Structure 1
Amino acid sequence: MIYEALSCVTEDINNNLKRKLQINEDKMILSGIVNQDGSIAIQGENKMLVTLVNVEKETARASVSNTGAAVFNATSAAVSINLYVLFSAYFTGNNYAQALRFLSYTVAFFQSKSTFTAQNTPMLDSGISKLSFELESPGADRMNNMWATLGARYMPSVLYKVRMLTFDDSIIKEYRPAVAGTSGETLPAR
């Protein structure tokens, strides 16, 4: 469900950027920043990266009582999590101004659409009722530690907390790995 949530948001931002900037290229890509061997994980340059940097358990789970008030319950068969998602500008040195522009576009997008539901995002997975994006202000020390942990050099970036995905065993479905095509591209399994 994490993949479904982040790929949907990435696609939505790309569609918005294509419409507003009149471009054909996907500028936002869901990707790690570095591979396990320390090499750069991104194919190409001049992209905005969407990277999951942390997952945390939501300790208070809200449910609605008969009166319509929110009741928080810490025990349930399901677990709810929050995601920390980093949007970073991977642009070459000559395009630093473009990096800052796309970082600004990202913040502006979430200012206009901070909540994703089936009503405003039809492509949202049916197992996700709502995603809420909150801008985080991690501070210089925490940001420095995060980039060091990621094993990458700092890039202009913004961090969002995404509330909240709820998991139970109903999300487990048959897994079909992708099949590599003859030209090396990955094709979805049928």
Structure 2
Amino acid sequence: MKEGTRARSWTLPDVSLLWRRADAGPSRVIDRAVELVAARLNQHLRFRLQSDEDLVLVANVVAHDGTPAPQIEDKLALFVVNIEKDALPPGRAATPLGAGRLGRAQPPLHLNVYLMLAAGYSNGNYGQALKLVSQAIRYLQAHPVFDRRTAPDMGDGLERLTLEVENLGTQELSHLWGVLGGRYLPSVLYRMRTVVLVPDGLVGEVAPVRGVDAMAGS
């Protein structure tokens, strides 16, 4: 960690917030983004490792009772560890309403989603866990961008996602895995940007900008 840099505090998001509007069409951007990454990794790993089953699950590494999640044994778990606002210039969108009127909407919310890719393993399969992580890292290093050209099956509300490895210092890593249950697994953290949440509806009406000629004649 660089000197003078404040350590991040990791708190797992409430998963129910991600799925509360599961049938809301374009509003389902976070879960669809995560599922897209998992689908691409599964497609690659199935081919590379000649597997008949998916090797990447969108799942946490611990069950609700705090015990290790059994479904991720000898598989990769892909899950969200943090969500933050992306630092973009503020702005407000104006929507034409007709008759020279403009509606005012809240600006879209650009998010960075931190994704952990962790390898579960059974007794004696630690080497296989490292192999899975290595293959996943190689694929995402070669294909860090998902857009309509590279991923034409992207869901509504998704336009472009980029993934980059996020480095963690020893203290941050220890704290994060403490939050996750204390049992470290071979893993890598990615920052996925930019997931865009578009607010529903309008919040008001704004007066259109009048031209110089119009103002002179008023």
Q: TM-score band, normalised by the shorter chain?
A: 0.7 to 0.9
Q: Which structure has the larger Rg?
A: 2
- Structure 1 runs of 4+ with >4 Å offset: none
Deviations 1:150-190 (A, max 9, x none): 124000100000011111235xxxxxxxxxxxxxxxxxxxx
Query: What residue ranges of structure 1 are gaps of 5+ in the alignment?
Result: 61-72, 171-190
Distance 1:75 1:36, change over 3 A: farther
Aligned mate of 1:131, from 151, 155, 161: 161
Aligned mate of 2:127, from 93, 97, 102: 97
Query: What residue ranges of structure 2 are gaps of 5+ in the alignment?
Result: 1-28, 93-106, 201-218
Matched position secondary structure for 2:124: helix
Matched position secondary structure for 1:169: coil
Q: 1:31·1:42 contact (CA, 8 Å) conserved in 2?
A: no
Q: Distance in 2 between matches of 1:49 and 1:117?
A: 23
Q: 2:167·2:189 contact (CA, 8 Å) conserved in 1?
A: yes
**Is residue 211 of structure 2 the alignment partner of residue 168 of structure 1?**
no
Structure with the bigger RCO (C-alpha within 8 Å, sep 6+) is 2
Aligned to 1:116: 146
**Is residue 108 of structure 2 the alignment partner of residue 78 of structure 1?**
yes
Offset, 1:93: 3.1
Aligned to 2:22: none
Aligned to 1:19: 47
Offset, 1:6: 0.5
Q: 2:61·2:72 contact (CA, 8 Å) conserved in 1?
A: no
Matched position secondary structure for 2:110: strand
Offset, 1:44: 5.3
Deviations 1:65-107 (A, max 9, x none): xxxxxxxx22342111001000001011301111111110011
Q: What TM-score do you get using the length of structure 1 for normalisation?
A: 0.79
Aligned to 1:28: 56
Distance 1:102 1:44, change over 3 A: closer
What percentage of residue pairs aligned between the two structures are identical? 30
Offset, 1:36: 3.4
Offset, 1:134: 0.6
Q: Name the aligned partner's letter for residue 135 of structure 1.
A: V
Aligned mate of 1:47, from 64, 71, 75: 75
Q: What TM-score do you get using the length of structure 2 for normalisation?
A: 0.69
**Is residue 85 of structure 2 the alignment partner of residue 57 of structure 1?**
yes
